[in-house]
Structure 1
Amino acid sequence: MTTIKVPGKLFLAGEFAATYSGQASIVLAVNRFMRFTIQPHDNYQITSDQLGIYPGLLFEKENNPLNDDAWQIVTQACRTIAAYLPATKIKHTQPFQLQITSGLELDGQKIGLGSSGATAVGVCQALLMYYQIPFTKYELFKLATLTLFQLPHFQKGSMGDVAAAVFGGIVYYEKFDTNWLTHQLSTTPLSNIVQNNWPQLQLKNLHQPKTWELLVAWTQSPADTQNSLQRLPVDPTTFLSASQTTVKQVATALENESWTAFQQALAQNQSEIITYTKAANINYQTSQLDHFLQLIQTFAIPGKISGAGNGDNALAWTKLQDTTKRHAFIQACIKADLRPLPLTIYHE
């Protein structure tokens, strides 16, 4: 029996731009998890505390009775690993039972922590470990990304949740060339795609200042990230260029532990995203999130809306020594009907 845990994610910077090839973003892995337990079994069986028992055949797309519902990531991940196996030394596969338990909800609600990416990563990783196939973090990222990329609902996504789930900590991520990957999928065996270098892809962990504390405020209203990516035809060139510069400034500020530069860069990225989403007619700001942005200005602390907006979460940072300010900020969030979540950055 093998059990793994996969962390959830929160975006720190680079949202919306991160859905475009070559664009930079910064993603945080947080200490709420999905757990995957796999063991030998008489036949293939997958169970989920959210979805029950999967009733179809795992590896045959045409026999999948639930191809368009919530099981699609799980079944597609199984097919991705099945397509990858011929390139390994595994000649015979043994049936398994896979149990999936999610801790990325609160009071039965999703809280914007990237369950899709965590699911793709967890199923792929569990099967690789079960069949004793060595893998690097880059290979796991690619396999989980290929899983989601082959599902139409997720093709426009950034895959930042995958990056955080695989690498942990604070992740600097530049998205791969999606046109290249689309072409590869129609011309190249999947195992070769995994082994190839992906144009424009960059992934690395950033430094986490030890005296900076994260605070997450939840709006208690779930957002649908994929629907938020449906935009009016707006030329994104200016936005993408500005975001790229600003996200790199955020990364540099973290590396240098420069509090003022960090605060300024986050505020700049927030302003860029607001301008872009208004132009593209994307539902981004809500009264609660606007109130949060007012609070971080009042308390003079770094902060920003996290992810696609229109619900879910916002982030703020305080210093360890500023306990009075942190407590007052938390109380102000609660008064504004923003629920503080006990989340910290998760390192493996």
Structure 2
Amino acid sequence: MTAVRSAPGKLFVAGEYAVLEPGSPAVLAAVDREITVGATSADDDLVIDSDIADQSLRLSRQDNGFPANTGMPHVVSAVETVGELLAEYGRSLPGVKLSIHSGLHHAGVKIGLGSSGAVTVATIDALLAFCGMSLTTEDRFRLALLASVRLDARTSGGDLAASTWGGWMVYQAPDRTAVADLSRRKGVRAALEAPWPGFAVRRLPAPRGLAVEVGWTGNPASTSDRVGSGSVQDWRGSQAYREFVRRSGACVDALVDALEADDDRMVLKEIRRARRLLATVDDQGALGIFTDELTAMCDAAEAVGGAAKPSGAGGGDCGIALLEPDQGVLDRVRARWLAAGVVPLPIKLYEPERTHAGDR
């Protein structure tokens, strides 16, 4: 049998960087582009075929797991985490081939829509289905976060939440170091069942009277590299950062209220406020969040009464704009983006009213 599962990419609407702190909120939205993973039986322990890799990987399980530095670390970590959970139930992961197709890349280049998170979620979902194991939505998210923090405990998990639940949401991260330690000490199953202080996720309505546009700078940026950089780490230890987290939380809370009240004017106001918060700390700490392209993208949206900001850690990748759904307005913004080197992407946001691809 083949089990096929897909997971959408994401956009950060507000709350970047602050969401790294346990309990600090961010608003995210899933997009209509996905990563799809198919799992089927294989003679080898693990075979990975991906349309973004140069070659097929054939990996043998060693005493301490699969080899490191395979070029597909998030996939391998997801496989190992599912394998450990199965072992705790007295089962073993059979030889499996994973076939991966990405809609979150352009000509093999990631465009900043959370491809690492989406491939982790899709891999876990496909493996669970392949092995005939059913978990709740929250437990599937928890399993994905456990797989991710093995690679980098700094990840917020927001991308995983968007890929798991879909739609618009407000998300608060748990203490990922504590979660990883719990998994090491007591096992994956115990970590799934234990309380995760700080963690919360809640669905939000999408804005009904605004168009959402996505602009790509053409320059990929690594979130983990940016979050782990010396300048960001120095900033996170400062009083200015603590004040930023407080102000970001207030902005996200107000944005959540505006979305739930269907108040488009206030939604735009809070997106502009989120942009200013990021710009202020970028100037203070020379963090490199805003590139010339991202600044031009935001300015073009605000020039027509809209709002825009980088989506995620910045330094490249893409940005999100909310605009009046008037074709003339959209055409003017897209033309200014193209003139500034920003590529308008045909990406839509969606609510998760879909079913999994069928097993066959």
Q: TM-score, normalised by structure 2?
A: 0.90
Mapping for residues 278-317 of structure 1, pairs under 5 Å: 278-317=283-322
Name the aligned partner's letter for residue 12 of structure 2: F
| Cα distance, 1:342 vs structure 2 | 0.4
How far residue 176 of structure 1 moved from its aligned partner, in angstroms, is 0.5
Distance in 2, Cα, partners of 1:243 & 1:115:
25
Does the residue aligned with 1:55 lie in a helix, a strand or coil? strand
Aligned to 1:29: 30
**Residues 3 and 183 of structure 1: CA distance in aligned 2, closer, same or farther (over 3 Å):** closer
Name the amino acid aligned to 1:26: V
Summarize the alignment of residues 1-348 of structure 1 with structure 2, pairs less than 5 Å apart: 1-44=2-45, 45-51=47-53, 52-58=55-61, 60-61=63-64, 64=67, 67-88=68-89, 91=91, 93-151=93-151, 154-229=152-227, 230=229, 231=232, 232=234, 233-235=237-239, 236-320=241-325, 322-348=326-352
Q: How far off its partner does 1:60 sit? A: 4.7
CA contact (8 A) 2:44 2:60 kept: no
Residues 62 and 38 (structure 1), Cα distance of their counterparts in 2 relative to 1, 3 Å cut: closer
Alignment root-mean-square deviation, CA: 1.8
Deviations 1:177-223 (A, max 9, x none): 23432431342221110122211101122101333221001111111
Q: Displacement, 1:69?
A: 4.5
Q: Deviations over 1:65-113 (max 9, x none)?
A: xx1342221111111011111344x635433222111121112321001
Contact 1:250–1:265 (8 Å) recurs in 2: yes
Q: Which deviates more, 77-86 or 268-277?
A: 268-277
SS at match of 2:58: coil
Q: Is the 8 A contact 1:59 1:79 kept in 2?
A: no
| Aligned partner of residue 223 in structure 1, secondary structure | coil
Q: Is the 8 A contact 1:217 1:339 kept in 2?
A: yes
Contact 1:211 1:319 in 2 (8 A): yes
* Matched residues, number: 342
1:239 partner letter: F
- In the superposition, relative to structure 1, how do residues 311 and 63 fare at CA in structure 2: closer, same or farther (>3 Å)? closer
SS of alignment partner, residue 140 of structure 1:
helix
Q: Is the 8 A contact 1:58 1:79 kept in 2?
A: no
| Superimposed CA distance per residue, residues 196-253 of structure 1 (whole angstroms, 9 cap, x where no aligned partner) | 2211101122101333221001111111211211212423211111111101111111
- Provide the C-alpha distance between the structure 1 equivalents of 2:125 and 2:63, rounded to a whole number of angstroms: 20
Contact 2:8 2:32 in 1 (8 A): yes
- The alignment-based identity, stated in percent, is 26
CA distance in 2, matches of 1:109, 1:199: 36
- Secondary structure of 2:247's aligned partner: helix
Determine helix, strand or coil for the equivalent of 2:127.
helix
Contact 2:65-2:80 within 8 A present in 1 as well: no
Whether contact under 8 Å (1:59, 1:82) holds in the other structure is no
Contact kept? 2:301, 2:323, Cα under 8 Å: no
- Give the Cα separation in 2 of the matches to 1:119 and 1:242: 32
Q: Please give the alpha-carbon distance, in whole angstroms, between the structure 2 residues aligned to 1:187 and 1:163.
A: 24
Shift of residue 138, structure 1, vs aligned partner? 0.7
Unaligned 5+ residue runs, structure 2? 353-360
Greater shift in the superposed pair: 176-185 or 302-311: 176-185
TM-score by length of 1: 0.93
